[in-house]
Structure 1
């Protein structure tokens, strides 16, 4: 196996390592039963499951058509992005990093009536296939809000900023892409015309455009997902997310989600050389 693919179950990215450094080791880590319940109450279990949907973009990143593999591609995705595998990975990390106090704080909010209604729509949004309808609907909602200069826009902005207060999403997305491309190159699937340092520099040159795109997409998604909630409820959610304890929880959960995504994309790259184009009959 190429050296680029000899990775432990969790190979810490720079972003992930920084998050761990910023959050002190918990005095009392949460046990497995609490963690599994936490994943369900907060909807993080569904957020992890939705990572599988991102695999649709994997072949395009390598210049490969997923349809060329027929049912083999679906089988690969279902195996590599198995829900149980990703949840166990998440619990392994959270069990070492998420204190019982932070877990309880987040779980208490999401267990409330408002919290459970939020989780329900977030779960639906996570698992909704991106066929353009959600994006178009969200964009239409935002356009309508702008036309009347609605104060809801500011509330949605607070909401999206609170879930990514340190702007880690951009760095994490770049890390996922770099690790996937380097793993694919190491497996002989593609031949890169630049080394890792040049690849990272090329991505940095596009950061402003990517940052704007991420922010716009986050607003559009929030407008669509929370359209049935009142301004007061959206504001209450924003306030809950802005709490210092919830900020620590979200920084960790975001890091865990992106780390698992990168790890699973690397696993896909490792198995691509063994796949053959097929025709479904």
Structure 2
């Protein structure tokens, strides 16, 4: 299953997750739940769509947590790897996502998305997406950039499909807002835990991060194209046209609205938990 903006694992100027997204879990997705899906159905849905692996890949973003605070992994000594691993535990993240989806995901919408991803093409797509989710960015993005350059040189129509796919899974452009919010919540949590000492208030922090939002949005668009070029390099134009139309179905777009909200909520929750644990290891530093 695709996830809006790979963040390049919170790359470049590091984006972050949003209260706007978390609010959407309450105000946007609750109308979906005419007949909520059962837990077993949700667990099967996570697997068939590949959303379970997408959740697992959140753990890879933990490597950038010190950087978000202006620190270095070495500042936390040899405990860092173990701390990140236990905080971003895949069992915990999957359980949290399942809890939310069990309460909010409508059974009919679940069935629609699961039917597509369970098809022959759907499973081929899930296999490719799962592989891409877990690849090292230092390999994936340079390769994707090279493939994208070749596609542009050939005026490959797949590029327009990549853009349509990105639009379908995040039509309201909440991805950048979400990335900013995760960073705000993580930095504030780290400040409260005594990991850092903030010299600005929350309003100033948000304003500082928002200054680069336009630049980050441009970088995110390029990252998404590179990621797609890498992920779908072995798919035909016909296959990608079928996939694009499937993603543009209003029912699938509704499912993605919820899945994106869940993804960012789980990520935000784990980063906040990480901040608390860092506070028990690291003396305060100014940011």
Decide which of 34, 37, 40 is 1:27's aligned counterpart: 34
- SS class of match (1:50): helix
Matches within 5 A, 1:1-281: 13-23=19-29, 24-130=31-137, 132-275=138-281
C-alpha offsets along residues 149-202 of structure 1, whole Å, 9 cap, x if unaligned?
A: 121211111112212221111011011100000000000110111111111122
C-alpha offsets along residues 59-81 of structure 1, whole Å, 9 cap, x if unaligned?
A: 11112211343441111111111
Cα distance in 1 for partners of 2:150, 2:235 equals: 16
Is 106-115 or 133-142 further displaced after alignment? 133-142
Cα distance in 2 for partners of 1:213, 1:128 equals: 19
In structure 2, relative to structure 1, the CA distance for the partners of 1:276 and 1:183 (3 Å cut) is closer
| Residue 275 of structure 1, CA deviation | 2.2
Cα distance in 2 for partners of 1:199, 1:273 equals: 20
Cα distance in 1 for partners of 2:272, 2:22 equals: 16
Q: Is the 8 A contact 2:194 2:279 kept in 1?
A: yes
Cα distance in 2 for partners of 1:62, 1:170 equals: 19
Cα distance in 1 for partners of 2:207, 2:72 equals: 27
Cα distance in 2 for partners of 1:194, 1:44 equals: 37
Q: Is the 8 A contact 1:187 1:270 kept in 2?
A: yes
Give ranges in structure 1 of 5+ residues lacking alignment.
Answer: 1-11
Report how many residues are paired.
Answer: 265
Q: Is the 8 A contact 1:42 1:119 kept in 2?
A: yes
- SS class of match (2:197): coil
Give ranges in structure 2 of 5+ residues lacking alignment.
Answer: 1-17
| Residue 14 of structure 1, CA deviation | 2.3
Root-mean-square deviation (CA, aligned residues, Å) is 1.5
- SS class of match (1:128): coil
TM-score, normalising length: structure 2: 0.89
TM-score, normalising length: structure 1: 0.91
